[in-house]
Amino acid sequence: MFGGTETVASAIEWAMAELMKSPDDMKKVQEELAAVAGLDRKVQESDLDKLSFLKCCVKETLRLHPPIPLLLHETAEDCEVAGYRVPARTRVMVNAWAIGRDPSAWKDADCFKPSRFADDLAAPDFKGGYFEFIPFGSGRRSCPGMQLGLYGLELAVAQLLHCFNWELPDGMKPSELDMSDIFGLTAPRAVRLAAVASPRVTCSLV
């Protein structure tokens, strides 16, 4: 239950926070949603494959805020890594959070730039073969709930942005949004996101 709820809820909040902080990207997602689904009905699961920029935003969110920042593993046999001997059955932690922000792998590594994933057939995917981007781990020990988690994340963010316009409260500027996190088993926002919604679609929201 923890893996299927806490991680997805945290990712949704981070995605919305990053888009609130980057209003041009939020506008671009909303324009894409309007082009695909219109404003007279709610976005549906069948629309997701057509929402390419939304998917870029989800990837960029997970690069900066992986659901589990430290991936726990155990070595199966003796090995040597970068000159260090690692005995069999050693517990090791892979820092997915730091890997996603590695400046040698990502230009402007700490900046939210969804366009880095756009229009590139070789862009990193979630399958774990691109070791600079492993929000769900890699190989046989990758997250078994990846597809379910991605589905929930993409559909929730799509519906939130399609059905509503969003503003920060009390005249807060995007640059003033606190983006600090609490580092642990997961890395949720240190300050819960507060936002003001107003209806955007013309159909019933019930």
What string of DSSP letters covers 25-85?
A: HHHHHHHHHHHHH-SSS---GGGGGG-HHHHHHHHHHHHHS-SSSEEEEE-SS-EEETTEE
**2-68+97-199 in CATH: which number?**
1.10.630.10
What is the tens place of the pLDDT at every residue in 15-50?
Answer: 999 999 999 999 999 999 999 999 999 999 999 999
Tell me if 143 is assigned to a ligand binding site. yes
What's this model's pTM, rounded to 2 decimal places?
0.91
* Structure-block tokens of residue 104: 């040698």
Mean pLDDT of 55-70: 95
**Domain residue limits, the chain:** 2-68+97-199
One-letter amino acid of 144: P
The model's confidence at residue 186, banded by pLDDT at 50, 70 and 90, is confident
What's the pLDDT tens digit per position in 91-113?
Answer: 999 999 999 999 999 999 999 99
